[in-house]
Structure 1
Amino acid sequence: MTVDLLSQLPLFATDQQLAVAIVGKDRASMWVKTVIPQLEKKGFPRIDPLHDGRPVPLVRRFYEGYVGITAGFAAAAPDGKEDWSVWNRRRRAKRSADE
């Protein structure tokens, strides 16, 4: 069972709070120093100056897109009408060979 640490953060969280929730306490300082600047170039939410933190819902949405969760399941979509006659022919041929 996994715990969603982002859901336990305030609406606007510090980089340190986000880092602990996303990569864990051991890697948090490295993530803040090196990863956040790279992610900001890819659209990671900026710090809101009024709230002095990053909006957690937007951070979550960023990661959903980043890891492909919001890309959908197009790969699993049907590619057309199924031709069951092919399957039935193979099945009949296998039964004939087994007899």
Structure 2
Amino acid sequence: MNNPDDDLRDGGIPGQAKQRRAKRDTRRTTVTLEQLPLFADERSLSEALLGPGKYTHWRAVVTLLEGRGFPKIDGLMGGRYTRAVRAFFDREYRIHGDSQISKPHQPANLGAAWKKR
């Protein structure tokens, strides 16, 4: 039961202590992909990749990502392989390690379509 003396003891007006406790309980630290287990559930992945409260957006986007090669949920393990998730995004955004060398760019041939034959 809510005791009015608790509110006054906390140095506020009645009801403020309860609000502060509720706010304290909802604060969470940001979870990173590295902190997730090897196979993570959808809600945990959405929080690690997009931030808290983005699960609905994640559900809409993940099907599009799967069409581009995003790792699917492993039925036996009950989640997505987090290392494969990281590798997918590294490939998508062309992140290479120190030992990897991307192939050299070809020089641009601007205006080639308009050159006279």
> So what's the TM-score if we normalise by structure 1?
0.65
The one of the two structures with greater contact order (alpha-carbon pairs below 8 A, sep at least 6) is 1
Q: Which runs of 5+ in 1 are unaligned?
A: 78-99
For residues 54-65 of structure 1, what are the structure 2 equivalents within 5 Å?
A: 54-65=80-91
Question: What is the Cα-based RMSD across aligned positions, in Å?
Answer: 2.8
The structure with the greater share of residues assigned to helix is 1
For residues 1-99 of structure 1, what are the structure 2 equivalents within 5 Å?
A: 5-31=32-58, 33-70=59-96, 74=102
On the 8 A contact 1:16/1:29 being kept in 2, the answer is no
Q: Which runs of 5+ in 2 are unaligned?
A: 1-29, 106-117
- In structure 2, the CA distance between the partners of 1:50 and 1:11, relative to structure 1 (3 Å rule), is same
Question: Residue 11 of structure 2 corresponds to which residue in structure 1?
Answer: none
